[in-house]
């Protein structure tokens, strides 16, 4: 049985926990993984004044800027999901869905109202980035948990517990191995995480399991906005969803 080295840091507006087997260079790998998460926060948080997201919000209509490569990956994924979902996924929260374009690392502002909230996709990307860093530095197993966005890899099975909002406490839901899992709570009046087209939405927890945390995170918003735990995009991304 592995002895696990675990560390936690306040990042991404939550507590990020990372665990790897306790072996040579494990501490260095953990610190590098936290640095990867900090890079995502610095690039994509709307609360960081120098982030790509904050600079884009201040950009005048018709102007362009260069973003970090990590931001470009997330924006291009967000655009692809917006198109594939018929607008159910929208990082502008309904302000200007078609008011921006990202081509390579060039981000173009086509409407003055265009601004982003990447809270529904960037946290999953940060988890994936941390996992990739751990793997690149030789970790054969481990996990990254960012407050509801979780990914495990290698020979590890993590118990997933869901909070009971009505009676308190938690209850077992599943065991996660070599995959990602994301849970979000949505209500019909919640627009900070998802834009429910036509005012539709669900007052429930939405969970998605997928190979990557970026898609697990983002697809919870599609399921919440559609109310469809069998949405066709889930199969396309080899994902599974639950409404509970």
Q: What is the pLDDT of residues 105-145, one digit of tens each?
A: 999 999 999 999 999 999 999 999 999 999 999 999 999 99
Range in 24-28, 177-181, 216-220 the model is least confident about: 24-28
Indicate whether 201 pLDDT > 60: no
In a domain, residue 87? The reply is yes
Q: Both tokens of residue 164? A: 């009971």
Rg over CA atoms, the chain: 18
Share of the chain above pLDDT 90, in %: 82
In a domain, residue 145? The reply is no
Indicate whether 240 pLDDT > 90: yes
Rounded distance, CA 110 to CA 178, Å? 40
In a domain, residue 65? The reply is yes
Range in 106-110, 141-145, 169-173, 191-195 the model is least confident about: 191-195
In a domain, residue 17? The reply is no
In a domain, residue 55? The reply is yes
Describe the strand order of the beta sheet including 106-109 as a list of residue ranges: 64-66, 106-109, 100-103
Beta bridge partners of residue 65, listed in sequence order = 107
Structure confidence at residue 202 (pLDDT): 47
In a domain, residue 19? The reply is no
Number of domains in the chain: 1
Q: 68: domain range? A: 51-119
In a domain, residue 32? The reply is no
Banded pLDDT at 157 (limits 50, 70, 90): very high
């Amino acid at each position: 049985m592995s002895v696990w080295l675990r560390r936690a840091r306040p990042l991404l507006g939550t507590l990020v926990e990372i665990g790897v087997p306790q072996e040579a260079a494990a501490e260095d790998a953990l610190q590098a993984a936290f640095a990867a998460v900090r890079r995502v926060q610095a690039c994509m948080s709307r609360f960081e004044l120098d982030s790509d997201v904050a600079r884009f919000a201040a950009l005048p209509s018709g102007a362009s800027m260069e973003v970090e490569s990590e931001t470009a990956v997330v924006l291009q994924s967000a655009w692809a999901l917006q198109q594939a979902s018929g607008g159910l996924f929208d990082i502008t929260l309904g302000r200007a869905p078609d008011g921006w374009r990202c081509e390579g690392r060039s981000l173009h502002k086509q409407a003055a109202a265009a601004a982003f909230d990447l809270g529904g996709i960037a946290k999953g990307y940060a988890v994936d980035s941390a996992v990739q860093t751990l793997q690149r530095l030789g970790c054969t197993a481990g996990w990254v948990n960012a407050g509801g966005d979780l990914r495990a890899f290698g020979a590890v099975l993590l118990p997933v517990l869901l909070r009971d909002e009505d009676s308190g406490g938690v209850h077992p839901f599943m065991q996660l191995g070599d995959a990602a899992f994301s849970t979000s709570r949505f209500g019909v009046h919640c627009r900070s995480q998802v834009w429910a087209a036509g005012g539709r939405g669900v007052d429930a927890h939405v969970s998605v399991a997928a190979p990557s945390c970026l898609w697990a995170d983002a697809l919870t918003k599609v399921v919440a906005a559609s109310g469809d735990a069998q949405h066709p995009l889930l199969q396309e991304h080899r994902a599974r969803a639950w409404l509970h």
